[in-house]
Amino acid sequence: MPSTSLNSLRNETEGALAEFVKGKTEKLNKIDDFLEPIAKSLSEYILAGGKRFRPIFAYLGFLGAGGVANPKIARAFAALELVHVCALIHDDLMDGSDTRRNRESIHRQFQKHHDELKYLGSAANYGASVAILLGDLSLAWSDELIFLSGISQAQHYLALPIFHEMREELMAGQYLDVLESVRGDSDKIRSSKIARLKSGKYSIERPLQFGAALAGANSTLLADFSNFGLALGEAFQLRDDLLGIFGEPSVTGKPSGDDIREGKRTLLIALTLEMCSEKERKLLERSLGEKSLDNSQIADIQELISRCGAGGECERLISALFNEAMANLDRSDCREEIKGLLKEMAEATTQREK
């Protein structure tokens, strides 16, 4: 197999996305001049700044199962990024997030657009409506990109069930996350399940299996990738939990402590509520979902999480899950030359700063 690298796989994904999005943007602009702002916004959102973890994991699953790199496959894997874009746009709307990737979130962009042009009605409703539509459009484009990729009918038959299951699990996890934020209590088991569905499975396990299925992988390798991906996916989400509270805004593209203001009941929060004092627990409960928290109040919550040991426990869990994933990978039937790249990706997803 020719030598490959994570950068080469990322570049192939970028090229496939850019080509597809350029064509779709041109079509939107031809429909009506008023579509130009949404075409431009969605195009920039898709192409600016993504880490492309999901397409890369899919590509590695494909290569690890004996597949040979080609442009058709790269286009099919790029479709996973469009699913991710849908999730991000809708997630920001549901959470009321102001920023994403160091720029205004989609609903905030169009809320501002409404104000600037002095449109009638509610600017907030307009921004929310546009975000829903653009998220839906990105999801629809993911189907179209797979269909237009040029992969064979046999490959469609093998891989599409995994693709559809991945999207169902993502939506299920998103709903459970929304529900968790309004229930008013926290539970480690529920938080872990939500993390697996909302992030771990759709970020790592299912992309790996999607790629492997396109290469005709047997059930043993699909199970191997599941064992590797589930452990790594949970570690990935735990790192996300920590970044959502302690992340550097200039790096993450989101304000520090945003998960507190948004009322996210992550596993980190569940651990904190379990490990802190009664007084501290009441403070944290009052703070969750409080949009008006200033930087000083966020700093107090950050200090609380660190002091009670929940942050350190999360780091310990990340390390243990990473080691579990590596042990599962070592035992797997994945091609040996791809295992090293999967280890690089595992390190990137669990040791990242954004």
What residue ranges define each of the domains in the chain, with the CATH number in brackets? 6-350 (1.10.600.10)
Segment 327-349, tens digit of pLDDT:
999 999 999 999 999 999 999 99
Give 274: exposed, middle or buried? Use CB within 10 Å, 0-12, 13-18, 19+: middle
The yes-or-no verdict on residue 143 having pLDDT over 80 is yes
Assess contact for 39 and 101: CB atoms under 8 A: no
How far is residue 270's CA from residue 170's CA, in Å, rounded to a whole number?
21
The yes-or-no verdict on residue 1 having pLDDT over 50 is no
The yes-or-no verdict on residue 40 having pLDDT over 90 is yes
How far is residue 124's CA from residue 184's CA, in Å, rounded to a whole number?
26
pLDDT of residue 354: 79
Assess contact for 283 and 304: CB atoms under 8 A: yes
How far is residue 134's CA from residue 117's CA, in Å, rounded to a whole number?
20
H or E element: which one contains 275? Answer: helix 267-275
Segment 194-244, tens digit of pLDDT:
888 888 899 999 999 999 999 999 999 999 999 999 999 999 999 999 999
0.85 surpassed by pTM: yes
Segment 261-294, tens digit of pLDDT:
989 999 999 999 999 999 999 999 999 999 999 9
At CA 294, angle to CA 290 and CA 296, rounded to 5? 125
Sign of CA dihedral 146, 207, 190, 311: negative
pLDDT above 70 coverage of the chain, percent: 99
Taking alpha carbons only, the member of 207, 222, 218 closest to residue 76 is 207
Assess contact for 219 and 249: CB atoms under 8 A: no
